[in-house]
Amino acid sequence: MTLWRDIKGTLQPFWITLGYLFQKPVTIQYPEVKRTPPPRYRARIVLTRDPDGGERCVACHLCSGACPVDCISMQAAEDADGRRYAAWFRINFSRCIFCGLCAEACPTLAIQMTPDYEICNRDILNLVYEKEDLLIDGCGKDTQYNFYEHAGIGVANERGRNQDEYGPVDPKSLLP
Amino acid sequence: MVNLTIDGKQVTVSKTATIYDAAKEVGINIPVLCYAKKLLPYGACRFCLVQVEQMKGRLIPACTTPVSEGMVVTTTSEEIQKVRKTVMEFLLVNHVLDCPVCDKGGECDLQDLAYEFGSISNRFEGVKFDLPTDEINPLIERNMNRCVLCGRCVRVCDEVVGYGSYSFINRGFETKIATAYDRGLNCEFCGQCVSLCPVGAILPRPFKFKARPWQIKEVDSVCGYCGNGCTVTLGVLDNKIETIRFNDEIGVNDGNLCIRGRFGYAYVNHQKRLTKPLVRKEGQLVEVEWDEALQVAAEGLSNAQNGQGVGILSGARLTNEEFFLLKNLAKTIGTDHLDHSGGECYKGVSEGLNETLGVKASTGTFPQLESCDVILAIRSDFWETHPVVGMVVNQAIRRNDAQLVVVADKRGKLTKLPRARTLLTKAGYELSILNAMSKVLLDEGLAQVDGLQNLDAFKAALSEYTPENVAQQTGVDADLLKDSARKLAGAKKSAILLAYGLPYTAQSKELAAAAANLALLAGIPGRAGSGLYLCGEKANSQGAIDLGVLPAGNGLGAQQMLTAAGEGKLDALYVIAEDPISSYPDRQMVEQAMDKVGFSVVQDLFLSATAEKADVVFPAASFAEKEGTFTNAERRIQRVRQGIKSPGEAKTDGAIISALANKLGNTLSFTGEAAIFAEIGKDVPAYAEFNYHEIGSQGVVWGGETLAPTRRNLVSVSAEQPASADYHLVTGSALYHSGTVSVHASGPLAVMPEAYVELGREDAAALGVNDGDLLKVAGNGVEIQLKAKVDNRLPKGLLFAPYHFGNAGLNKLYRGEAVVAVSVSK
C-alpha cells in the first residue's frame, strides 16, 4: 500500500501542473501589462469636490483622528461665505497603511480611496502629498452628495432653503 | 443623611443632595445637558429623567429633585431610554447638522448624547431659524443656530460672574438667548459661558480652527497673572499653547477664570519674546552666546559689589524655588539690597499685618469666603485685581445672602452686586473710614477687646475719627458707616478684603494696619470661617514675602535702591521679571537710576523699556515653561507645570540665576525643584511640613484654613490728607490687564488696546469731553495725553487711569501718592 501511495503522491502534483500548463496564466507581466483593480480597491487617497465644484473637505480632523498611523494632518480655515476648508492638508503615504478608516470616518465624503496603487517612489519625501496633489476635479464615488445641502447651515443655499428643510421663520411674525 | 436605592445600589447622601448627586456618588451616570456642578439646579433639558417608585413611577428630572428617605430610583429602563431619545429628537428638530464644521466637534455634549442614543433620524419636522452669528467682539463667538437652550450661559453669567449679559428672549419655539436689546455681546469677556456651553453655540474665537480636542495635550498649571492662583489647564499642541481648557475638577477656582486667565495666554507665544542673551557693545545691545553674557554679568556684578554694591530687584512672578535661588545668589554676591515689586505696596502684609497680628499673610482661605455673612471690601478695585475672588463674593451674596460693604472712591463691579452697600468716599480717605468704623465698634461696646494690646492708646488715637467728623471729611453718610460697622461686628463669619499692588503703594502699611485693627475688634483673625484677606497683585506675591525676598538688615528697599542708583550710590542693578520704568511709581526716578547706575542686568520675557537701558539682558521663561510652586494670596502652595519649551535659547529664571551664581563661584546645585522645595522648608518653617511631590490638585495651604494670629496688637495709624485740587487722579488695575505682561497678550489687548483716563459724566459735560477725545492731564509738573473714557463709575472731580500701559507714561505723573492732584484740559 505504501508503494501505491508513493506513486500517487508523485503523479498527482504533476497532473495538476499539466492541467495548468494549458490554462491562461494567473500572473501578468507587470509593469508591461497592468491589471485593472476593482473599483473599491484601497490605494492612493484623493480629496474630491462637490458636484458644484467646491472642495468637499471641511477640515474636521476626523480622518486624522481615525487614522491608526497618524499620517494625515491639516489646518482648518474659513472662507468669507462661511465655508470651512483645509488651509493645508497633508497625507504622508510612506506611513499610510491604506486601511480606509479615514474614508469611512469622513462625514462629507471628501476623502476617498482610489484604485491607483502605483505610487512607489525612490525618495521617501516624495510620498508626502500636499493638498494640491490630493485634490481632484471630480466627485469620486458619489456624484450627488453635497454636505452643505444637508448641514442645515446657510452656505450652499440660504438656511432653510435646502431640499430637506423648511424655510426660516421670522419670530416677530408670530406675534399677535 | 438620607438613605435611598438607585438601580439596586444603596446610597447615603446628605438631605440637600439631588438624585443626580446621589447617583454620581455611586458611579451611576445620568445623561445631562443643562446641569453644571457649580450652578443651581435648573431642569431645562429633561435628559436626566428617572423613575421613582414612590412617585407612581412617573418620570421626574434627577437634577432638580431632592432625595428623600427610602426613595427607590431607576435610572435606566426601556421606557426611560425611549423618552430620552424623544427628548433628543425634539432638540434636533431645530439643530443644525454641521458637526464637521463646528469647532466643538469632539467634545460636544449633544454630539456625545446623540451618539449614545443612536439618534440618526427624526420623527419630527419643524421650521428652522436663520440667526446671524454674533462675532462683533474679538474673543467670543455666538452661533445661536447651535443653541440647545440649556441656559448654562445665562445662569453662570448671573450666578457666578454677576454680570448678567444673557437672557432668554421670545417664547416657545422661538426662544433664544440674547444680550440686552439683542445687540452683540459686549461684556467683561471672562469666557465662563464659553467654558460651560455644552454645544458649539458659544466658542472662543482665538481657538477657532486651531485643533480638535483629542489632539491637544492638557497640562494643569497655575495662572501666571494675579495672586488668586487659579488652576489653568493649558491646551498644548506642537509646543504652543493654543487655548486654556475648561477644568472644574481641580484647583481653588472651581473652573472659573477671568479674561486674563482664559484669553491672556497669548503673550507666551508672542513673536517678540527674547530668544537670545543680549550684551551692550559700543552702545548697542547685540545677541551673544549664553556663556559670554553670563561672564559679562558676573564680572559686572562682582566689580560693583567691590565698589558701592549691587541692588537686586525682582518681580513677583518667579516661583518659590526661583526666589530661593535668588536669595542664594544675593548671598553669593554678598548684597543685602534685595527686594520685590516696588517695595512699598507689600508693606501692608510684611509690616502692617506683622505688627498687628504677627503674621505676614491673609488669615483665611478663598472657599471660606462663600459662607461669610458680611464682607467688607476696601476699594472697589478688588474685582479688577482679583476677579475670581470677586466671583466668590458674588456667590456669597447670591447663594448665602451675604451683606457686602464696599469702601470705595469709585463705583465698580463690586458696588453693583445685589444689596451691596457702598461707602463712597472722596479718594484717598479709605483709612479714615476704617478708623471710624473701629471707633464705632469701641464706642458702642460691640468690639471684642479681650486680649488686645495697646487698647487705650488706640482709643485715644481714634478720638478724632468720630463717624460725624469722618462723614464730613469724606462725604460718606455717618449712619451708613455706623450701621456697616455694626453689621461687621454682629456677623458670625465675616471677611475683610484688600488688594495690594504697584498702583496701590500709598499708605499701604497704614491701610493694612487699619484693616487689621478693625478685624481684631470685629474678632475676625483666628475665627473659623472668617478672614482678613490681603491679596497680592501678582501670581507669587505671597511666596516672595514667605521666602523673604525683602531687604534684610541694612539692605535697601526697591525705592531706596533706585534712589541710591540715581544718586550714583549703587554700582549695579539686577532687575528680574519686572519693568520698573513702565510700572513703578515715579518714572523719572527709575529712568535716572537706570541711566546713572554703572552696570545693569535685566532678565525678562520681552525687551522692555527697562531692558533697553540695560547692559546685559537675559531671555527668561514664562510661567508655562517652568516647573515649581506658586503661593497664592490665601497661602495655598500650588504646582506650576511646564507645558511647552521656551522659545529659542530662553531659560527659566531659576536656571539663569543658578548659572550666574556658578559663574560667581557658588558651587551649590540642586537636582530639581523638589530638592529646592525641601531646602526652602529649612528656611521657612511653614513650608517644611509639605513634600513637593505630594502637593495635590487642590494645592496645600500653609498655616491651615484659618491662620491663627500670634499677637493681637492694635496699632494706631492716621490718615494722610490728600492734596486738594479740582481734579484728582487715582491709578489702579483694569480688569482686562494684570501688571505689564498682559499688554503683550492679544486677548486682553483686543478688548483694551491702549491706555485711557476715565472720568464721570458730570466732569465730561463740564469739560466738553466725549468718549475717545484726547485729554491733557497735568500734575506733579508733568503733562501727559490720554484718551478719555466717559462713564458713570466715577464721582465728580475724580479721574482714573490704569497703570498697565508703560508707553502712556502714567507713572511720570504718579509718584506713589494715594491721589494725584491734577489739572485737566482738552
Express each pLDDT in B583-616 by its tens digit.
999 999 999 999 999 999 999 999 999 999 999 9
Q: How far is A133 from chain B (nearest CA, A)?
A: 22
Q: Are B188 and B128 in contact (CB under 8 A)?
A: no
The one-letter amino acid code at B99 reads C
CB contacts of A150 in chain B (<8 Å) are 97
Judged by a CB distance cut-off of 8 A, whether residue A65 touches chain B is yes
* Residue B109 to residue B106: CA distance in whole angstroms: 9
Q: Tell me what pLDDT residue A169 has.
A: 65
Could you say which of A61, A78, A174 has the minimum Cβ distance to residue B174? A174
Q: Tell me what pLDDT residue B129 has.
A: 75
Q: By CA distance, what is A155's nearest residue in B?
A: B98
Q: Is the pLDDT of residue B389 over 70?
A: yes
Q: Where do the H-state alpha helices sit in B664-727?
A: 673-683, 685-688
Residue A12 lies in a domain: no
Q: What does the pLDDT look like over B757-805, one tens digit per residue?
A: 999 999 999 999 999 999 999 988 899 999 999 999 999 999 999 999 9
- pTM (2 decimals)? 0.90
**Percentage of residues of chain B with pLDDT beyond 90:** 79
Residue A108 lies in a domain: yes
Q: How far is B216 from chain A (nearest CA, A)?
A: 12
Q: How far is B621 from chain A (nearest CA, A)?
A: 28
Q: How far is A84 from chain B (nearest CA, A)?
A: 6
Q: Is the pLDDT of residue B351 over 80?
A: yes
* Residue B738 to residue B736: CA distance in whole angstroms: 7
Q: What does the pLDDT look like over B535-584, one tens digit per residue?
A: 999 999 999 999 999 988 888 999 999 999 999 999 999 999 999 999 99
Q: What does the pLDDT look like over B73-101, one tens digit per residue?
A: 999 999 999 999 999 999 888 888 889 99
Q: How far is B109 from chain A (nearest CA, A)?
A: 17
Backbone dihedral region of B518: left (phi > 0), alpha (psi from -120 to 50 degrees) or beta? alpha
Number of domains in chain A: 1
Asked whether the beta carbons of residue B174 and residue A171 sit closer than 8 angstroms, the reply is: yes
* Residue B460 to residue A97: CA distance in whole angstroms: 88
Q: Is the pLDDT of residue B624 over 90?
A: yes
Asked whether the beta carbons of residue B128 and residue A160 sit closer than 8 angstroms, the reply is: yes
Asked whether the beta carbons of residue B106 and residue A75 sit closer than 8 angstroms, the reply is: no
Judged by a CB distance cut-off of 8 A, whether residue A176 touches chain B is no
Q: Is the pLDDT of residue B296 over 90?
A: yes
- Residue B345 banded pLDDT, cuts 50, 70, 90: confident
CB contacts of A151 in chain B (<8 Å) are 96-98, 100-101
CB contacts of A58 in chain B (<8 Å) are 100-101
Residue A144 lies in a domain: yes
Report helix, strand or coil for B347. Answer: helix
CB contacts of A54 in chain B (<8 Å) are none
Judged by a CB distance cut-off of 8 A, whether residue A81 touches chain B is no
> Chain B interface, mutation test: which of A58, A108, A149, A153, most B Cβ atoms within 10 Å?
A153
Give the pLDDT mean for B431-452. Answer: 93
Long-range CB contact pairs, B243-250, < 8 A, 24+: B243/B204, B243/B206, B243/B207, B243/B210, B243/B211, B243/B216, B245/B216, B245/B218, B246/B194, B246/B195, B246/B196, B247/B218, B247/B220, B248/B37, B248/B38, B249/B697, B250/B220, B250/B697, B250/B698
Could you say which of B97, B128, B209 has the minimum Cβ distance to residue A166? B128
The one-letter amino acid code at B683 reads D
Question: Which A positions 29-58 lie with beta carbon below 8 A of chain B?
Answer: 58
Q: What CATH number is given to the structural domain containing A124?
A: 3.30.70.3270
- Residue B626 banded pLDDT, cuts 50, 70, 90: very high
A78-82, A95-99, B809-813: segment of lowest average pLDDT? A78-82
Asked whether the beta carbons of residue B97 and residue A158 sit closer than 8 angstroms, the reply is: no
Asked whether the beta carbons of residue A60 and residue B209 sit closer than 8 angstroms, the reply is: no
Q: How far is B127 from chain A (nearest CA, A)?
A: 5
Which residues is B245 bridged to in the sheet?
B233
Q: Where do the H-state alpha helices sit in B234-381?
A: 259-263, 290-306, 320-333, 347, 354-356, 366-369
CA atoms within a 13 Å half-sphere pointing along the CA-CB vector of B287: 7
Mean per-residue pLDDT of chain B: 92
Could you say which of A78, A151, A158 has the minimum Cβ distance to residue B98? A151
* Residue B499 to residue B414: CA distance in whole angstroms: 13
More confident residue, B279 or A163: B279
**Rg value, chain B, Cα:** 28
Q: Tell me what pLDDT residue A174 has.
A: 63
Question: How far, rounded to the nearest angstrom, does the alpha carbon of residue B54 sit from its chain's CA centroid?
Answer: 48
Judged by a CB distance cut-off of 8 A, whether residue A4 touches chain B is no
Domains and CATH numbers, chain B: 2-76 (3.10.20.740), 127-269 (3.30.70.20), 278-344+543-680+693-701 (3.40.50.740), 345-537 (3.40.228.10), 727-825 (2.40.40.20)
Q: Tell me what pLDDT residue B95 has.
A: 87
Q: Tell me what pLDDT residue B668 has.
A: 82
CB contacts of A154 in chain B (<8 Å) are 130
Q: Is the pLDDT of residue B110 over 70?
A: yes
CB contacts of B96 in chain A (<8 Å) are 151-153
Asked whether the beta carbons of residue A108 and residue B130 sit closer than 8 angstroms, the reply is: no
Q: Is the pLDDT of residue B290 over 80?
A: yes
Asked whether the beta carbons of residue B212 and residue A61 sit closer than 8 angstroms, the reply is: yes
Judged by a CB distance cut-off of 8 A, whether residue A68 touches chain B is no
Could you say which of B101, B211, B215 has the minimum Cβ distance to residue A58? B101
Q: Where do the H-state alpha helices sit in B164-319?
A: 192-196, 259-263, 290-306
Residue A126 lies in a domain: yes
Q: What does the pLDDT look like over B487-519, one tens digit per residue?
A: 999 999 999 999 999 888 888 999 999 999 999
Q: By CA distance, what is B174's nearest residue in A?
A: A171
Could you say which of B145, B209, B212 has the minimum Cβ distance to residue A77? B209
Asked whether the beta carbons of residue A152 and residue B128 sit closer than 8 angstroms, the reply is: yes
Domain span holding position A76: 45-154
* Residue A139 to residue A108: CA distance in whole angstroms: 11
Could you say which of A64, A108, A168 has the minimum Cβ distance to residue B128? A168
Backbone dihedral region of B341: left (phi > 0), alpha (psi from -120 to 50 degrees) or beta? left
* Residue B806 to residue B578: CA distance in whole angstroms: 12
Q: Is the pLDDT of residue A161 over 80?
A: no
Interface size A-B, in CB pairs within 8 Å, comes to 77
C-alpha distances out from residue B637 to B40, B320, B532, B545, B693, Å: 30, 9, 18, 13, 12
Residue-wise DSSP of B757-794: EEEEHHHHHHHT--TT-EEEEEETTEEEEEEEEEESSS
CB contacts of B215 in chain A (<8 Å) are 61, 64-65
Q: By CA distance, what is A65's nearest residue in B?
A: B214
Sign of CA dihedral B586, B589, B592, B597: negative
Asked whether the beta carbons of residue B209 and residue A166 sit closer than 8 angstroms, the reply is: no
B171-175, B177-181, B300-304, B746-750: segment of lowest average pLDDT? B171-175
A145-154, B86-95, B351-360, B387-396: segment of lowest average pLDDT? A145-154
Residue A1 lies in a domain: no
* Residue B541 to residue B539: CA distance in whole angstroms: 6
Q: How far is A166 from chain B (nearest CA, A)?
A: 5
Question: Which A positions 82-121 lie with beta carbon below 8 A of chain B?
Answer: 84, 107-108
Give the pLDDT mean for B644-650. Answer: 94
A168-172, B747-751, B810-814: segment of lowest average pLDDT? A168-172
* Residue B769 to residue B338: CA distance in whole angstroms: 45
Q: Is the pLDDT of residue B11 over 90?
A: yes
Q: Tell me what pLDDT residue B199 has.
A: 95
Residue A171 lies in a domain: no
- Provide the grid cell at B143: 452661533
Q: Are A74 and A45 in contact (CB under 8 A)?
A: no
Q: What does the pLDDT look like over B177-221, one tens digit per residue?
A: 999 988 889 999 999 999 999 999 999 999 999 999 999 999 999
- Residue B630 banded pLDDT, cuts 50, 70, 90: very high
Q: Tell me what pLDDT residue B174 has.
A: 83
B492-526 residues labelled b (16+ CB within 10 A) or e (exposed): ebbbbbbbbbbbbbbbbbbbbbbbbbbbbbbbbbb
The one-letter amino acid code at B764 reads A
Q: What does the pLDDT look like over A3-59, one tens digit per residue?
A: 999 999 999 999 999 999 999 888 889 889 998 999 999 999 999 999 989 999 999
- Residue A150 banded pLDDT, cuts 50, 70, 90: confident
Give the pLDDT mean for B434-451. Answer: 93
Q: By CA distance, what is B172's nearest residue in A?
A: A171
Q: Tell me what pLDDT residue B54 has.
A: 87
Q: Where do the H-state alpha helices sit in B307-447?
A: 320-333, 347, 354-356, 366-369, 382-385, 387-400, 413-416, 430-443
Asked whether the beta carbons of residue B209 and residue A160 sit closer than 8 angstroms, the reply is: no
Judged by a CB distance cut-off of 8 A, whether residue A171 touches chain B is yes
Q: Tell me what pLDDT residue B812 has.
A: 92
Q: Tell me what pLDDT residue B590 has.
A: 93
Asked whether the beta carbons of residue A78 and residue B126 sit closer than 8 angstroms, the reply is: no
> Chain B interface, mutation test: which of A63, A64, A81, A84, most B Cβ atoms within 10 Å?
A84
For residue B159, give the nearest of B320, B400, B471, B354 by alpha carbon.
B400
Q: How far is B100 from chain A (nearest CA, A)?
A: 5
CB contacts of B129 in chain A (<8 Å) are 159, 168-169, 171
Q: By CA distance, what is A161's nearest residue in B?
A: B128
CB contacts of B100 in chain A (<8 Å) are 58, 60, 62, 84, 107-108, 147, 151
Long-range CB contact pairs, B591-594, < 8 A, 24+: B592/B565, B592/B566, B593/B561, B593/B562, B593/B563, B593/B565, B593/B566, B594/B565
CB contacts of B174 in chain A (<8 Å) are 169, 171, 174
Pairing of strands B820-825, B798-802: unpaired
Which residues is B378 bridged to in the sheet?
B407, B498
Report helix, strand or coil for B600. Answer: strand
Residue A86 lies in a domain: yes
CB contacts of B176 in chain A (<8 Å) are 171
> Chain A interface, mutation test: which of B91, B99, B101, B146, most A Cβ atoms within 10 Å?
B101
Q: Are B642 and B219 in contact (CB under 8 A)?
A: yes
Q: Is the pLDDT of residue A162 over 80?
A: no
Residue A55 lies in a domain: yes
